[in-house]
Each structure stands twice: as C-alpha cells, then as structure tokens.
C-alpha cells in the first residue's frame, strides 16, 4: 500500500467529519423547528480491497447514510391525537363564545331582563293608572325584546363567522394539498431529500389537524391523501375542496372530482373543520331554536292574557308583543298558538280546515303537501258558553275559539322568530292592566290583569316550564357542553403532549447531545487532520532521506 | 428517556401558562367576588344561581309591593280611627242632647256641631293617599262619597296586591262596608238619599226609597190557623174597614173588600190617596223561601213614627183571623199587630232573595250607615226630639262596633304584611346565603390558592432560568 494512502484515509476522515459537523450544526439550528426530525449519521469504514499477509486494512471512513430519527407509528398516533385536539380546541373556543352570549354569571344576564319585565307588571299592579309605571313597563319590555334579539343576532353572527372560518380552512386545505403534491414529486425525484420529507410530514400533520385524513406512502415515496376513502391527493393529481351553504343554510363541502363535484360534508369526521360543522349546524341552531321557542311561547302567553284585558282608554283585544306567526289566509279566532318543542317542521306553512266535525291539517311546505292528523280536544267555557278546540301536531298547539264549519286558514311561524320579538304597544294607555273596562265597568285601579300577567312568571308557559326555569336550563346546558369540551380538550392536550414527548425522545434535538456530538466530531476531524500531517511528515522524512 | 431542549422548553412554557391561567382565574374571582365566572365553571351552580337571582329579584319587588300595601292600609287604619273618634264625639253630643235640662236652642247648637262632624266624616272617607281614594273601589280616581248627599258613588271592588309567592293583600276598603246603602242594582231608581231627614215626606217623590221605618214598624201576627204561604190567596173572608190614624192627624178609613188577599190589602192601603200619606204597607216573607210565612207590615210615613199609628178594625171575620189581625190601638188595648224595633238586629226578612229584603234590612239605621246615624241624630236634635236622640246613642254604638270590625280587618291586613315581611326576609336571607354559597368566591380560599400558585410560578421561573442559563456549550472551550 502506498504511503500516500494515508493522505486519502486522512482526507476521508476530514470530509466525513466535516459532513458530520454539518449534520450536527443542522440539528442545532433546527432545535426549535416544529416537526423537525433529528438527523443522525451512520459511518462506515471503506475496505481496501487489497489483501496483505498481515491482514486487511481499510481505506478510511465514509457516510453510509444520514437517517431521519423517525418512528412512523408514533408519528401516526401524534397526527391522530393532534387532529382530535384540533377538533376539541375549536369546539371549546366556540362553546366559550356561546357561553359569553348566555353568560348568566354576569350581572347583566338575560334572566335579569326577564325578571325585570315581570317585576314591571307587579309595579304596574300597585298603581295601574300610573303613567310612570306604564312607561317603565314599556321600557323593560323593550329592553327584554332587544336583549333577546341581540343574543339571537350574536348566534347568527357566530354562524356567519364560522362559515367564513371554514372558507379559510378550505383554502388552507387546498393549499396544503398542492404543497403535498409538489413535495411528493420532489421526493420521488430525490429520495434523499430528508428535509422535504420533514416538510411534507409537517404539512400532512397540519392538514390532519384541520380535517381528519388517512394517508399512505406508495413505492415511489409519494403520499396518497384520502378523506374517508375519497382521494384528495393521488398519483400526482390534486382534488380541491369547496364550501358553500345548502338550502337549509347549512355548511356543504364539495370535492372536485373528475366526474364532477360530490358532497363531502359527511366525509369530514374529525379535525377543526368537523368542530366547525358541529358547532355551526348542530349546537348553535339548537340554541337558536330554544330562544325562538322561549320568545314565541312567552309572546303567546302574555298576548293571550293581554288581549283579554282592558287598557286605561277602554281598549281591549290588543297584543302586547308583536304576533310571531303570519296568517297567510283566513280569519280564525286564535286564542293561543304555542309550541312545546322545535323541530324541522316548526317553521313550515300549515293549512287548517274544519268542516264542522273533522279537522284537516296540511303541511304546505313539503312537496307534495303532506296531510297531518292532529290531536283534537274540545271544551266549552264561560257564559255564554264558548266552544274551544285545541289542535296539537308537530309540537304546535293551537286553541281556536268558536270555530265555524268551513273555517279554512293558513299560518306560518316566522323563522328566526327571536328577531321579530318586539313590543306592539306604543300608547301606554293601551297596556291592559284591567280585567274589565275601567271606563265603564271597573275603574282605573283595576289591576287584576296586570297581576295575572305577573303570575305568568310562576306558570309553566314555555314548553311546560316556567320562563326562568326554561331559560336557566339553556344556560346550564351550554355550561355542561362547554365544561365537558374543556375537559376533553385538556385531556387531548395531555395526550398529545405525552406522545410529543415520546416523539421527541426519538426525533427531537437535545442541545447537550448535539454538543457532545459536536466535540466528538471536532476531535475526529482534528485527529484526521493530524493523520494528514503525520503522513506529510513521513513523506518529508522520506524525501530528506533521498537528498 | 431523552428529554430534548425544545420539548423541555415547550413543557415549561405550557406549565407556566397553566399556572398563570389559574392565577388569572383566581384573580378574576377575587376582583369580581364571584366563584362562577362562566356557565362552564359550574353548570349546576349556574342554573341555581339564575333561580336564586330570579327569586331575590321577585322578593325585592314584593318588598316594594308590601311598602305600598302598608302605606295604603296604614292610612286606612288612621282614617277609620278618625271616624271612630268623631263617632265618640257624636255620642257625647247625643248623651248631652238627651238631658232634660237642655233647651231647644242648645240642641240646635249641638245639631250644628253634628253637621260639622258629618262634613268632616265625608272628608275623611274621601281621604286621598298618593292620588288614590283609599275608601273607593277600582274607581279610585273620583271621591267615593258625594259630599252633597253622602251617597257612596264608587264600586265595591277590592284591589289586591301580591306580597309573596302565594299571598295577596287588599289595599283599599270600599266605604260601603260602613258608610252607605247598598244600592239595589236591579232597581237603580231607588236613588237612596243618605242625608234624608227621618221625617222626610216621601209622598209624591217618584225616586223615594222604599224604605221601612228605620226604628220599627207594625208587624202582623201569624194567623191562628198557621202561616200564610201564598200572599195572593184570600185572607179576609168578609172584608171590612180599617180606620187608620197617625198621631193626632185625621183618621182615614180604608175599605177592604171581601176575599181580599194580603197583596190586595197592601195595594188598597198604598193606593188610598189619604191613607198613603200616613202609612205604607208591605207584604213580607217572615219565613224562608222553603217555608214561607207571609205577613203584612205597616210603617208610618214619614218613617220613624210607626208607634204612633192607630188601626181600628171593623169586620165580621172570626176572632184571631182575617182583618182582626191588623188592629193596633195601644189606648184601647186592641193590639194584634206588634211594634218591632229594627235596630237591635231584629230583621223582618231573613231570606236575602226576598224583593223587600233591602228595604227592611238595610234601612238607614242599619249598622252600616254611619252617615245616616249622624244625620238621624242631627235631625232629632233640630226637631228637639228627645226620644230619638236617646235612640241615636244606641245606633252610634252599633256603628262604632262595625267600625271596630273594619279596623280589625285592616289590622289583620297590616299584621299579614308584617308577618310576610318577616317571612320574606327569612326566605331572602336563606336564598342569599344559598346564592352566595354557589356564586361567591371564598376569598381566603382564593387568596391561599393564589399564593400557592404564585410560589409554584416563582419556583418554575427560578428553575427555568437556572436550567437554561447554561448548557453544555458553555463549558466547551
């Protein structure tokens, strides 16, 4: 073996350790990079290929490979749990906003407005002819209606915001899909592009946080991304997503495929986007409906009594709040129209016909119109006796006074009922505090109707619950949702942190470890350099010898 | 297990954040004094908090209502007290006026005093508290008692206020209870005149009250054969004549035809142009609707002098039957009718559905007629009628009793309000304690929690800086 081989061996050491130092430096530099996978070197000796009698010597060292310290199982777990964390994170912050709308822990709670409204009736009962009391009542009633519209509007805004958010999410998804596709091609072209893999891993994770996906690596190293079985990135093709609102104002996600758009809403089963869908189209509408029901039934109960009473000016049959249903045709004498629950059919248009014995109810909002069999009860009351009929169908209760044969009318409960919640009375003299005409029969101190309306505070008028009880059940329910979301989120956070710890164990960069490696490789580098110097010295000695 | 720098850092950060978050919450709890800051902090408590708040808000309102109820009822009590005092004064005048030594002029002077008392009583009955007449019904915007004729002109409705979740209390007292006639709504033409002189001549007055003698009237005895169950059946077999005389006035003869019924006799007397100037006759059911007992009652016109009526009967009816039952002549001892004092709770008619019930039982010296009693006294004084003045003392006692009764009703109301005030106060205290338990932060607990978090945070910060102050690179030279 030639003496000059020493130079080569030394050189291999220098180059190898220089590369090793580069890798260590890269690790140190990326110690704080999210999703960075620590790189490690595998050294290999170079065999000489020459046999001598004394044995085999080598030709130095080189790098066998630079490895990413990567555990695909932990990575998968991390992606899954982090996607769940994304879901609960968004869900919980949504519930927090909902809580703020219904925050009864604060002093300006909505329930105070309800109490104040009824207290104003009580106040009026003490001085039924008082202008101040009457004005106070109108003020409190208007405040109540405004608070309800405000809360309802806040829920509507929240839905709109979530729609905007989901558009951003969809844009982000599409961007990620494009990036993954691009990185796929880079990796296929250059399988050693470790950092590209890191980058792709990171993007897949981000994508998975937004929407739960599945993925696998093909032979060439491409990732195929699937959304519940439907491909998003596959074989160099990207299928973009779109979001819009469907006929029911619900979110609808569309996937652009070769054969046209398909509805992908149901395919979204996890991640932040699922939380958005759940919040916007399940949770919030539930509470919007509850507010609607509250407002509708409260209006019906107050109006029903108010119509029976008399104002200071002798006027009667006036509504206190605006009527919250539309009479499209017919002139029925409706004593009461309330709802005991809300469902998809609540806001439909109904036609009711009476032939003298039988009742027919038709849901006109379906195509074709569907016929409904109502539960009918009837009774007589008062002198002279008045016939009342109560019809119950689809959680709607109507009480009709003295219906005549041939009665035919169509009505519809206003959608977004709470937005129409408003005080109908403008003239304080028309507030019906009296049970009989104060001008002719009783007198201005007749407070019986005011007391009766105050009594509604303690009657089951909203879906078989007292107003405050119904309202506080809403608040409490949101509290339960929100607190369980918080617990879920915390649990998920701890889980993700735990997996992250395990991931860091394998893939993370410890500065101390890198420092040790740095010294190690530095020393190796120095030693290799020394080898070259020794070789140089030996060569010099040899040349001196010749001279 | 390898703990990397980055992970260490991140864990540290999240730990610090957790501590700060908890401290922020504790700090907010201290600042607001509330334990539950949002529904999710304690969903069960938030539901209870809303309920407690609603109850407290209602209790606050009830407090205001009770104050209102107290003001009105106290004023009513005070007014009744005043009326009572005036009545006592009137009684003193009556006693004074009945002494023999007083001259008619003196009595006239006392009558003036009574007149003042009448006017003051009307003013008191028209007491107004914060714009409302407390002795009125729902029509509390107009004076309940007409100052000219003393007639009650409001309604009898009681205005109730709710003073707790289950109790209400009336805040007005329609003065009908002690101040005036109950006007028969079926016949509004009975335009009763509270301040009518007891010797007012009703003859020819179409709106005259069909009032019986306030002091008494002559009541026919039950026939020996048993009660008359139908006043339209024949009463006298042979008929005859009634010679009627009032005091020293000219006697009037009324001819009763044979087979006349009780109703016929009544009509004959009342339709006789001369007799009707002295007397008035009624047929009343002295029994009940199920076992009727019809009698004739004859009173003087003007009222109050029935005991001066003389009725001599000429008939061939059998003794103890027919027209013989209508004789009344104390001088000859021929007395088949009896003179009934009306004031001592004696009522001719017990059946409230009887058409004459009001006339007989609610006449103006009923215990309910405060003003009429005073007026009766006044007129008696003016007329120098010592006997009537004496009577007036009894009436005034009767009315004072009634006033006591009314005052005790008001007292009961005030007592009720007082009891409920205590009760509500107790409920409020309990509810507030319950609310506080659910809602309020325990300051000591929160502060100690805050301190604990603070020391943990400090320890975290110290170790963090210590830990990161140096790493291996610092030791590599």
| pLDDT tens digits along B116-138 | 998 898 899 898 888 889 888 88
pLDDT attached to residue A343: 85
Q: Is 90 exceeded by the pLDDT of residue B437?
A: no
Of A123, A476, A512, nearest to B47 by CB-CB distance is A476
**A25 inside 8 A of chain B by CB:** no
pLDDT attached to residue B345: 40
Of B6, B62, B141, nearest to A32 by CB-CB distance is B6
Find which of A504, A507, A513 to mutate to test the B interface (most B CBs within 10 Å of its CB).
A504
Distance CA A79, CA A65 (A): 27
Distance CA B266, CA B275 (A): 11
* Cβ <8 Å between B41 and A483: yes
pLDDT attached to residue B365: 55
Mean pLDDT of chain A: 89
**A475 inside 8 A of chain B by CB:** yes
* Tokens found for residue A259: 């054969």
- In 3D, which of A270, A289, A271 has the Cα closest to residue A281? A289
What would the pLDDT profile of B43-54 be if each residue is shown by its tens digit? 888 888 888 988
* Cβ <8 Å between A500 and B7: yes
Q: Lowest-confidence range among A79-93, A196-210, A415-429, B207-221?
A: B207-221
pLDDT top residue among B73 and B100: B73
Instruction: Give the up-direction half-sphere exposure of residue B59: CA atoms within 13 A in the CB hemisphere.
Output: 19
A518 interaction partners in chain B (CB closer than 8 Å) = 476
Of A125, A468, A483, nearest to B161 by CB-CB distance is A125
* Cβ <8 Å between A434 and B138: yes
Mean pLDDT (whole number) for A209-214: 92
Return all residues near B175 (Cβ < 8 A) that are at least 6 apart: B125, B135, B136, B144, B145, B152, B154
Nearest residue of A to residue B2 by CA position? A505
Return all residues near A155 (Cβ < 8 A) that are at least 6 apart: A98, A101, A284, A287, A288, A291
Please report, rounded to a whole number, the percentage of residues in chain A having pLDDT higher than 70: 97
Q: Which residues pair with A227 in a beta bridge?
A: A230
Please report, rounded to a whole number, the percentage of residues in chain B having pLDDT higher than 90: 12
pLDDT attached to residue A293: 93
pLDDT attached to residue A179: 94
Mean pLDDT (whole number) for B239-247: 87
B49 interaction partners in chain A (CB closer than 8 Å) = 104-105
- Cis preceding-peptide flag for A384 (omega within 30 of 0): yes
pLDDT attached to residue A62: 87
What would the pLDDT profile of A294-307 be if each residue is shown by its tens digit? 999 999 999 999 99
Mean pLDDT (whole number) for B29-44: 86
Q: C-alpha angle A503/A506/A510, rounded to 5°?
A: 100
In DSSP notation, B218-259 reads EEPPPPTT-----TTSB--SS-EEEEEEETTSPPEEEEE-TT
- In 3D, which of B54, B77, B70 has the Cα closest to residue B163? B70
Q: C-alpha angle B425/B430/B436, rounded to 5°?
A: 120
A476 interaction partners in chain B (CB closer than 8 Å) = 39, 43-44, 46-47, 50
B130 interaction partners in chain A (CB closer than 8 Å) = 127
Q: How far is B459 from chain A (nearest CA, A)?
A: 22
Give residue B339's pLDDT band: very low, low, confident or very high (50, 70, 90): confident
* Tokens found for residue B91: 């009684």
Q: Is the full-model pTM beyond 0.80? A: no
Q: How far is A521 from chain B (nearest CA, A)?
A: 14
pLDDT attached to residue A495: 93
Return all residues near A487 (Cβ < 8 A) that are at least 6 apart: none
* Strand blocks (E) in B266-345: 279-285, 294-300, 309-315, 328-329, 334-335, 338-341
Give residue A233's pLDDT band: very low, low, confident or very high (50, 70, 90): very high
Q: What are phi and psi of B201, to 5 degrees?
A: -90, 110
Answer whether B475's CB lies under 8 Å from A512's CB: no
B7 interaction partners in chain A (CB closer than 8 Å) = 500-501, 504, 508
* Cβ <8 Å between A469 and B51: yes
**A127 inside 8 A of chain B by CB:** yes
Q: Lowest-confidence range among A253-262, A338-347, B164-173, B179-188?
A: B179-188
Q: How far is A52 from chain B (nearest CA, A)?
A: 42
Q: Rounded to an integer, what is the distance from CA B297 to the centroid of its chain? A: 33
Distance CA B183, CA B205 (A): 18
pLDDT attached to residue B343: 45
Q: DSSP character for B199?
A: T
For chain A, count helices (H), then strands (E): 10, 18
Nearest residue of A to residue B130 by CA position? A127
Burial state string for B281-309 with b = 16 or more CB within 10 A and e = fewer than 16: bbbbbbbeeeebebbbbbbbbbbbbbbeb
ipTM, 2 dp: 0.76
Q: How far is B195 from chain A (nearest CA, A)?
A: 26
A475 interaction partners in chain B (CB closer than 8 Å) = 39, 46-47, 50
Instruction: Give the up-direction half-sphere exposure of residue A541: CA atoms within 13 A in the CB hemisphere.
Output: 7
Q: C-alpha angle B57/B62/B65, rounded to 5°?
A: 135
Return all residues near B33 (Cβ < 8 A) that are at least 6 apart: B440, B441, B443
Q: Is A54 exposed, middle or buried (0-12, 13-18, 19+ CB in 10 A)?
A: exposed
Of B10, B39, B140, nearest to A99 by CB-CB distance is B39
pLDDT attached to residue B364: 47
* Tokens found for residue A6: 């020493």
Q: Lowest-confidence range among A100-109, A208-217, A258-267, B50-59?
A: A100-109
Instruction: Using DSSP, state whether B212 is helix, strand or coil.
Output: coil
B61 interaction partners in chain A (CB closer than 8 Å) = 119, 122-123
Find which of A21, A123, A124, A126 to mutate to test the B interface (most B CBs within 10 Å of its CB).
A126
Q: Find residues 131-190 of chain A whose CB sits inside 8 Å of chain B.
A: none
What would the pLDDT profile of B360-413 be if each residue is shown by its tens digit? 544 445 666 788 788 878 878 887 877 778 778 877 887 888 888 888 989 999
Q: How far is B79 from chain A (nearest CA, A)?
A: 20
Return all residues near B208 (Cβ < 8 A) that are at least 6 apart: B202
* Tokens found for residue A12: 């291999």
Burial state string for A314-349 with b = 16 or more CB within 10 A and e = fewer than 16: ebbebbbbeebbeeeeeebebbbbbbeebeebbbbb
Of A444, A451, A508, nearest to B140 by CB-CB distance is A444
pLDDT attached to residue A248: 83
Find which of A310, A476, A489 to mutate to test the B interface (most B CBs within 10 Å of its CB).
A476
B155 interaction partners in chain A (CB closer than 8 Å) = 442-443
Answer whether A178's CB lies under 8 Å from A238's CB: yes
Give residue A50's pLDDT band: very low, low, confident or very high (50, 70, 90): low
- In 3D, which of A329, A324, A369, A371 has the Cα closest to residue A347? A324
Q: Is 70 exceeded by the pLDDT of residue A56?
A: no
Q: Is 50 exceeded by the pLDDT of residue A145?
A: yes
* Cβ <8 Å between A111 and B53: yes
pLDDT attached to residue B356: 56
Please report, rounded to a whole number, the percentage of residues in chain A having pLDDT higher than 90: 53
Q: Which residues pair with A38 in a beta bridge?
A: none
Q: Is A279 exposed, middle or buried (0-12, 13-18, 19+ CB in 10 A)?
A: buried
């Amino acid at each position: 073996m030639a003496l000059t081989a020493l130079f080569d061996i030394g050189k291999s050491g220098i180059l190898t350790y220089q590369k090793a130092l580069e890798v260590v430096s890269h690790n140190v530099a990326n110690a704080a990079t999210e999703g960075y996978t620590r790189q490690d070197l595998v050294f290999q000796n170079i065999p000489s290929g020459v046999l001598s009698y004394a044995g085999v010597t080598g030709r130095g060292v080189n790098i066998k490979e630079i490895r990413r310290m990567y555990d695909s199982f932990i990575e998968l777990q991390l992606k899954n749990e982090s996607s769940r964390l994304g879901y609960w994170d968004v869900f919980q912050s949504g519930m927090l906003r909902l809580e703020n709308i219904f925050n009864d822990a604060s002093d300006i709670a909505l329930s105070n407005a309800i109490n104040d409204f009824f207290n104003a009736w009580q106040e009026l009962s003490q001085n039924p002819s008082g202008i101040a009391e009457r004005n106070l009542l109108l003020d409190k009633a208007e405040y109540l209606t405004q608070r309800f519209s405000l809360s309802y509007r806040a829920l509507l805004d929240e839905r709109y915001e979530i729609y905007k958010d989901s558009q951003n999410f969809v844009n982000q998804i599409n961007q990620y899909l494009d990036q993954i596709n691009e990185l796929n091609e880079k990796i296929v072209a250059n399988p050693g592009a470790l950092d590209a893999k890191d980058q792709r891993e990171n993007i897949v994770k981000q994508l998975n946080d937004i929407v739960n996906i599945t993925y696998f690596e093909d032979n060439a190293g491409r990732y195929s991304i699937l959304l519940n079985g439907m491909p998003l990135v596959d074989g160099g093709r990207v299928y973009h997503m779109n979001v819009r609102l469907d006929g029911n104002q619900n979110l609808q996600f569309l996937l652009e495929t070769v054969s046209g758009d398909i509805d992908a809403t149901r395919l979204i089963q996890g991640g932040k986007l699922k939380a958005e869908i759940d919040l916007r189209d399940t949770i919030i509408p539930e509470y919007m409906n509850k507010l609607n029901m509250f407002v509708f039934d409260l209006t019906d109960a107050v109006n029903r009594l108010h119509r029976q009473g008399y104002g200071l000016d002798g006027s009667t049959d006036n509504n206190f709040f605006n009527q919250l249903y539309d009479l499209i045709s017919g002139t029925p004498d409706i004593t009461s129209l309330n709802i005991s629950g809300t469902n998809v059919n609540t806001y439909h248009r109904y036609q009711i016909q009476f032939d003298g014995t039988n009742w027919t109810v038709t849901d006109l909002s379906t195509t074709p119109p569907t016929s409904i069999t109502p539960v009918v009860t009837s009774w007589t009351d008062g002198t002279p006796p008045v016939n009342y009929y109560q019809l119950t169908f689809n959680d709607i209760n109507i009480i009709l006074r003295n219906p005549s044969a041939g009665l035919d009318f169509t009505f519809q409960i206003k959608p977004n009922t709470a937005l129409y919640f408003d005080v109908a009375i403008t003239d304080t003299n028309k507030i019906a505090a009296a049970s009989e005409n104060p001008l002719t029969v009783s007198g201005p101190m007749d407070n019986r109707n005011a007391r009766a309306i105050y009594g509604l505070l303690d009657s089951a008028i909203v879906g078989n619950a007292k107003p405050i009880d119904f309202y506080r059940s809403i608040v409490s329910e949101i509290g339960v949702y929100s607190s369980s979301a918080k617990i879920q989120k915390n649990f998920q956070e701890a889980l993700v942190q735990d997996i992250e710890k395990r991931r860091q164990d394998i893939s993370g960069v410890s500065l101390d470890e890198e420092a040790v490696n740095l010294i190690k490789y530095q020393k190796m580098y120095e030693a290799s350099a020394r080898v070259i110097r020794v070789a140089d010295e030996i060569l010099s000695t040899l040349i001196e010898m010749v001279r | 297990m390898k703990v990397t720098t980055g992970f260490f850092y991140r864990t540290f950060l999240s730990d610090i954040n957790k501590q700060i978050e908890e401290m922020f919450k504790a700090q907010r709890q201290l600042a607001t004094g509330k334990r539950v800051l949002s529904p999710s902090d304690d969903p069960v408590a938030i539901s209870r908090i809303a309920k407690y708040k609603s109850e407290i808000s209602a209790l606050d309102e009830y407090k205001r209502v009770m104050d209102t109820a107290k003001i009105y009822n106290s004023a009513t009590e005070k007014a009744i007290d005043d009326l009572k005092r005036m009545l006592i004064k009137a009684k003193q005048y009556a006693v004074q006026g009945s002494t023999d030594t007083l001259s008619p002029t003196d009595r006239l002077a006392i009558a003036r005093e009574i007149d003042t008392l009448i006017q003051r009583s009307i003013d008191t009955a028209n007491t107004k508290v914060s714009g409302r007449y407390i002795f009125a019904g729902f029509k509390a915007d107009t004076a309940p008692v007409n100052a000219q004729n003393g007639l009650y002109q409001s309604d009898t409705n009681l205005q109730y206020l709710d003073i707790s979740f289950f109790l209400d209390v009336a805040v007005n007292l329609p003065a009908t209870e002690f101040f005036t006639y109950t006007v028969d709504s079926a016949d509004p033409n009975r335009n009763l005149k509270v301040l009518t002189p007891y010797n007012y001549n009703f003859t020819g007055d179409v709106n005259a009250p069909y009032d019986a003698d306030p002091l008494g009237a002559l009541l026919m005895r039950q026939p020996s054969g048993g009660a008359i169950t139908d006043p339209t059946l024949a009463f006298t077999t042979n008929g005859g004549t009634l010679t009627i005389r009032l005091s020293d006035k000219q006697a009037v003869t009324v001819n009763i035809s044979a087979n006349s019924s009780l109703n016929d006799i009544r009509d004959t007397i009342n339709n006789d142009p001369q007799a009707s100037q002295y007397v008035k006759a009624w047929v009343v059911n002295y029994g009940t609707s199920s076992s009727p007992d019809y009698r004739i009652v004859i009173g003087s016109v003007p009222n109050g002098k029935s005991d001066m009526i003389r009725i001599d009967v000429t008939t061939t009816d059998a003794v103890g039957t027919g027209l013989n039952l209508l004789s009344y002549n104390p001088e000859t001892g021929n007395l088949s009718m009896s003179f009934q004092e009306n004031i001592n709770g004696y009522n001719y008619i017990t059946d409230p559905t009887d058409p004459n019930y009001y006339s007989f039982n609610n006449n103006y010296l009923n215990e309910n007629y405060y003003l009429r009693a005073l007026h009766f006294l006044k007129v008696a004084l003016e007329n120098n009628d010592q006997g009537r003045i004496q009577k007036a003392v009894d009436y005034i006692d009767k009315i004072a009793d009634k006033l006591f009764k009314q005052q005790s009703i008001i007292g009961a109301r005030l007592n009720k309000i007082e009891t409920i005030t205590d009760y509500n106060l107790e409920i409020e205290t309990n509810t507030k304690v319950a609310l506080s338990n659910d809602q309020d932060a325990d300051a000591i607990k929160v502060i100690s929690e805050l301190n604990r978090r603070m020391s943990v945070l400090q320890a975290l910060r110290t170790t963090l800086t210590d830990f990161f102050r140096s790493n291996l690179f610092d030791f590599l030279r």
